[in-house]
Amino acid sequence: MQIEFRSDLGAKVLVDVPDERALEDTLRKYGRLGWTSGEVPPGGYPFPYDNFADFDWSLIGARKWTNPEGDVRIIHRGQAYKIRELEAVDSRKMTLPAAVKISRGAKSTDPEHVREKADGEFEYVTLAIFRGGKRQERYALPR
């Protein structure tokens, strides 16, 4: 097996993986260096809500960071994303469970298909959304 990474310097690198069990360890190992594999899916990586608290950000090449003002951010490919808690919605129109959304404001160099419209003219880009689903141990930080 081989994984294709984009290194922190943007280089395309193919890394050998001995077997399937070593796959996620390899993603974690290089993810800690800021390396990523593949693209963020449109609308962001979907993860279960119960995986947020101890999510291992290295799995997607991201990391937690506390800025000088003391706010926690998620850093991914040099961009800082905010952590937003979305309350559950239970109206006549729709029912949505509570979620945690990792997103940032859009920049002029973001391609059209990653921008999502919000109120007014504001556009944002989502890295991940933790909503519903069933907790998966393999997404958790190793203890």
Question: Does 66 help bind its own copies (rule: CB under 8 A)?
Answer: no
Number of residues that bind its own copies (CB under 8 A): 41
Of 57, 75, 28, 30, residue with least CA distance to 130: 57
Out of 52, 56, 57, 59, the residue judged to bind its own copies by CB under 8 A: 59
Distance CA 37, CA 29 (A): 12
Which residues, 16 to 35, sit near its own copies by CB under 8 A?
Answer: 16-17, 23-24, 27
Are 19 and 102 in contact by the 8 Å Cβ rule? The answer is: no
Helix (H) / strand (E) containing 28:
helix 23-31
Out of 11, 94, 119, 142, the residue judged to bind its own copies by CB under 8 A: 11
**Cβ contacts of 115 within 8 Å, gap of 6 or more:** 106, 123, 124, 125
Out of 18, 70, 94, 111, the residue judged to bind its own copies by CB under 8 A: 111
CB atoms within 10 A of CB 128: 26
Out of 13, 53, 88, 98, the residue judged to bind its own copies by CB under 8 A: 13
**Secondary structure of residue 121 in the 3-state scheme:** coil
For its own copies, which is the closer residue by CB, 83 or 132?
132
Question: Does 70 help bind its own copies (rule: CB under 8 A)?
Answer: no
Give contact residues for its own copies (rule: CB under 8 A): 1-4, 6-7, 9-17, 23-24, 27, 37-43, 45-46, 59-60, 77-78, 107-111, 113-117
